[in-house]
């Protein structure tokens, strides 16, 4: 029995071997990244054997609310958290700057930058002056608190918020904004080994990272899928493609495939819109533009409805997604591409309508005038029979026209054709 207990005591340190967990924050900080990071911290807490969490980051910024939720998770983790801006050429702008300062260990790869953290409106429009001052003051106070708690340069942190200053990795290290520069994750771990840290709860620890296992926590398949379709360019494309597919199905019943593809695309677009910040005025303008294009085809607005449709489409597309940074809005080249395509279609249809109106009518009473035929009987100014347009008609003429002669229709009156002899 003693041997068994001894063996268990010998094995316990191996079973409880600490591990290093890594997370990857790429792209805009939104509700999906917030969910991914918070869920990852919960998993790490349940595992109970983490010695270090490394958040590798490359972000243009994102939403203030999501940023603050992630920072709360970091501060309450009771595990040392390192935020590492990587790889070379990456950035931690805006909300990413706050995450970097909130970490127990702030690190950057060579050739990276951070800062430019001035708050902006989600719509990109100007904020009313007093409200703008309140938002800026709140953000400045928050970043100063984070910097003070971590012993980092408060003045530079405040300038990044108030004056949108941006700093290179070397500037950050020299002026005390970050703790170190590392070439890669392995280099970061080697440099942190043996380092003494004071955590947010004032507990001091010494990092022992020698030969520890590195576990990478990935997004779930659901999160990856939602992250893909919430790409603003893809969500925008799904919306337009879905509307076109349904229009084709409704105007040409029985096609089936356009309806199926359009319906699926539209549902995926609306799923993305539940996560993306949608301006419904922009969405309604896009729907209105589709209505204008349909009306142009149906009632022949001579281009006016089409012009209204293009203007409505472009304005709606620009307003569709409220986002604080360009990366979170549909790219202007894509918007213009769709606008040009719709514009070319409606101009083509308008041209065809105008050509049709100018063309001589080929059916009905007007369609007979000018038609050639054959006199089946002698024709005078009282009676006669002609064969025109595959039909027999009663006919009269100003002079005598013998049977078998080629004739041409001049006018029609009460189903009687007035004809003349044709030189052909």
| Residue 397, domain CATH | 2.40.50.140
Q: Are residues 184 and 200 in the same domain?
A: yes
Residue 8: inside a domain: no
Q: Are residues 268 and 329 in the same domain?
A: yes
Lowest mean pLDDT among 51-55, 159-163, 232-236, 325-329: 325-329
Whole-structure pTM value? 0.71
Q: Are residues 31 and 130 in the same domain?
A: yes
Q: Are residues 318 and 395 in the same domain?
A: no
Residue that terminates a domain, selected from 307, 341, 358: 358
Q: Are residues 205 and 143 in the same domain?
A: yes
- Tell me the two tokens of residue 240: 């337009």
* Surface-to-core class of residue 119, CB atoms within 10 Å of its CB (0-12 exposed, 13-18 middle, 19+ buried): buried
| Confidence (pLDDT) at 34 | 93
Lowest mean pLDDT among 30-34, 188-192, 360-364: 360-364
Query: In the structure, what pLDDT confidence band is assigned to residue 156 with cuts at 50, 70 and 90?
Result: very high
How far apart CA 106 and CA 153 sit, in angstroms, is 12
Q: Are residues 122 and 265 in the same domain?
A: no
Q: Are residues 318 and 369 in the same domain?
A: no
> Tell me, what CATH number does 209's domain have?
3.90.226.10
- The closest alpha carbon to 361, from 397, 416, 412, belongs to 412
Count of H-run helices and E-run strands, the chain: 15, 16
Residue that terminates a domain, selected from 358, 381, 411: 358
Domain count, the chain: 3
| Confidence (pLDDT) at 47 | 85
How far apart CA 229 and CA 249 sit, in angstroms, is 24
Residue 78 has pLDDT above 80, yes or no: yes
Question: What CA–CA distances, in Å, run from 153 to 84, 145, 157, 282?
Answer: 18, 11, 6, 42
Averaged pLDDT score across all residues of the chain: 82
Q: Are residues 314 and 332 in the same domain?
A: yes
Residue 9: inside a domain: no
Q: Are residues 72 and 206 in the same domain?
A: yes
Helix extents (H) in 221-377: 221-229, 232-251, 257-273, 280-299, 304-319, 332-358, 364-368
Query: In the structure, what pLDDT confidence band is assigned to residue 219 with cuts at 50, 70 and 90?
Result: very high
Query: Cβ(254)–Cβ(267) under 8 Å?
Result: no
Give 366-402 as a DSSP string: HHHTT-EEEESS-B-SS--EEEETTEEEEEE-SS-B-
- Tell me the two tokens of residue 200: 């947010």
Residue 44: inside a domain: yes
Q: How many residues does the chain have?
A: 424
Q: Are residues 100 and 244 in the same domain?
A: no
How far apart CA 113 and CA 126 sit, in angstroms, is 27
| Confidence (pLDDT) at 9 | 39
Query: In the structure, what pLDDT confidence band is assigned to residue 12 with cuts at 50, 70 and 90?
Result: very low
Residue 30 has pLDDT above 70, yes or no: yes
Residue 47: inside a domain: yes
Residue 311 has pLDDT above 50, yes or no: yes
Residue 67: inside a domain: yes
How far apart CA 169 and CA 247 sit, in angstroms, is 53
Q: Are residues 200 and 333 in the same domain?
A: no
3-state SS assignment for residue 147: helix
Between 331 and 235, the more confident residue is: 235
Residue 53 has pLDDT above 80, yes or no: yes
Catalytic residues: 94, 134
| Confidence (pLDDT) at 360 | 55
Q: Are residues 45 and 173 in the same domain?
A: yes
The mean pLDDT value for 19-44 works out to: 92
- Tell me the two tokens of residue 398: 């100003």
Q: Which tens digits make up the pLDDT trace of 274-291?
A: 777 778 888 888 888 878
| Confidence (pLDDT) at 354 | 67
Taking each helix axis as running N to C, give the angle between helix 280-299 and helix 304-319, from 0 to 180 degrees, rounded to the nearest 10: 160
Residue 131 has pLDDT above 70, yes or no: yes
| Confidence (pLDDT) at 365 | 59
| Confidence (pLDDT) at 367 | 62
Residues spanned by the domain of 408: 364-421
Residue 72 has pLDDT above 60, yes or no: yes
How far apart CA 317 and CA 281 sit, in angstroms, is 10
Residue that terminates a domain, selected from 171, 195, 220: 220
Give 97-126 as a DSSP string: HHHHHHSSEEEE-TT-EEE------TTSSP
Query: In the structure, what pLDDT confidence band is assigned to residue 403 with cuts at 50, 70 and 90?
Result: confident
Query: Cβ(136)–Cβ(161) under 8 Å?
Result: yes
Q: Which tens digits make up the pLDDT trace of 372-401?
A: 888 888 888 888 888 887 788 888 888 888
Residue 306 has pLDDT above 80, yes or no: no
pLDDT cut 70: percent of the chain above it:
85
């Amino acid at each position: 029995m003693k041997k068994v207990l001894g063996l268990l005591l010998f094995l316990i340190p191996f079973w409880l071997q600490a591990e290093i967990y890594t997370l990857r924050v790429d792209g805009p900080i939104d509700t999906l990244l917030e969910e991914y990071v918070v869920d990852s911290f919960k998993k790490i807490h349940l595992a109970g054997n983490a010695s270090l969490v490394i958040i590798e980051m490359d972000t243009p910024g994102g939403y203030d609310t999501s940023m603050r939720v992630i920072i709360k998770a970091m501060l309450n983790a009771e595990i040392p958290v390192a935020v590492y801006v990587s790889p070379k050429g990456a950035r931690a702008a805006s909300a990413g700057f706050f995450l970097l300062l909130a970490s127990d260990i702030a690190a950057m790869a060579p050739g990276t930058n951070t800062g430019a953290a001035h708050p902006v409106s989600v719509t990109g429009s100007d904020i009313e002056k007093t409200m703008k001052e309140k938002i800026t003051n709140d953000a400045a106070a928050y970043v100063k608190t984070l910097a003070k708690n971590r012993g980092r340069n408060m003045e530079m942190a405040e300038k990044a918020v108030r004056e949108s200053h941006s700093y290179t990795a070397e500037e950050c290290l020299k002026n005390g904004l970050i703790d170190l520069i590392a070439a890669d994750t392995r280099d970061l771990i080697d440099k942190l080994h043996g380092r003494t840290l004071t955590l947010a709860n004032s507990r001091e620890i010494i990092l022992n990272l020698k030969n520890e296992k590195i576990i990478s926590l990935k997004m779930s398949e659901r999160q990856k899928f939602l992250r893909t379709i919430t790409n603003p360019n893809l969500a925008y494309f799904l919306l337009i493609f879905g509307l076109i597919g349904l229009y084709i199905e409704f105007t040409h019943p029985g096609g089936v495939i356009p309806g199926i593809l359009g319906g699926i695309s539209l549902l995926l677009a609306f799923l993305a819109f539940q996560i993306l910040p949608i301006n419904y005025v922009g969405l309604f303008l896009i729907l209105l533009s589709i209505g204008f294009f349909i009306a142009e085809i149906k009632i022949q607005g001579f281009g006016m409805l089409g012009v209204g449709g293009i203007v409505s489409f472009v304005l709606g597309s620009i307003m569709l997604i409220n986002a604080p940074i360009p990366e979170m809005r549909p790219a202007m080249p894509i918007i213009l591409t769709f606008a040009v395509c719709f514009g070319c279609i409606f101009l083509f249809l308008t041209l065809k309508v105008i050509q049709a109106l100018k063309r001589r009518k080929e059916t009905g009473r007007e369609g007979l005038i000018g038609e050639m035929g054959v006199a089946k009987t002698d024709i005078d100014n009282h009676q006669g029979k002609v064969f025109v347009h595959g039909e027999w008609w009663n006919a009269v003429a100003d002079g005598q026209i013998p049977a078998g002669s080629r004739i041409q229709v001049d006018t029609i009156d009460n189903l009687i054709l007035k004809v003349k002899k044709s030189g052909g």
